[in-house]
Amino acid sequence: MVYDLHKTIGDIITTAFPEFEVVKDPACGGDQHIPLFCNDSKSRRTKYCNVDLLILKDYKVKVIIEIEESDITPVRVCGKFLVSALSEYFIHDRYGIVEMDNSVLFTQILDSSKLEIDRTSKLEQFRNIEKSIKDIIPIKKQQN
């Protein structure tokens, strides 16, 4: 299923970054799901999520982009960030096992076009979520 905003963002990113490998899910105009895993073993037990778009460079994940057109609640917004941040690998038959770079940019695009701007507190809520996330990054792994 192709969504207008997803497809538009997919086209913009592909055009803007021709020097990178842009991997898009079907909603963004691609032809594959983009699964992220907690380790390098591909299984249902280790799969955390599918994302909308990835940018790869030097065979590492550099950018994760999530696009939300309908469910823009804090749980959905934060959940997408957290499962992406906890993931270590993108694994796919076409690309093999691809690890996250040491630093990965996570961008979440939220469609606010249906909000009644003068009657909503969502935009301020988005800013608060952004601030809260910035307060906890970078997320670092504990050394055992």
pLDDT-derived band at 46 (thresholds 50, 70, 90) equals very high
More confident residue, 122 or 29: 29
Residue 126 tokens read as 């988005």
In sequence order, what E strands does 1-95 have? 21-24, 35-37, 47-50, 53-57, 60-68, 89-92
Mean pLDDT of 105-113: 88
Confidence of residue 39 (pLDDT cuts 50, 70, 90): very high
Q: Which CA distances in Å does 20 have to 13, 57, 58, 97, 144?
A: 10, 6, 9, 17, 35
pLDDT at 142: 53
Q: What is the mean pLDDT of residues 121-128?
A: 86
pLDDT tier at 8, thresholds 50, 70, 90: very high
Of the two residues 86 and 143, the one the predictor is more confident about is 86
Helix 122-136 to helix 74-86 angle (10° resolution) is 20
What is the pLDDT, as a whole number, of residue 105? 94
Query: What is the reported pLDDT for 114?
Result: 81
Res. 138: pLDDT tops 80: no
pTM: 0.86
pLDDT at 125: 86
And the tokens for 38?
A: 């907690």
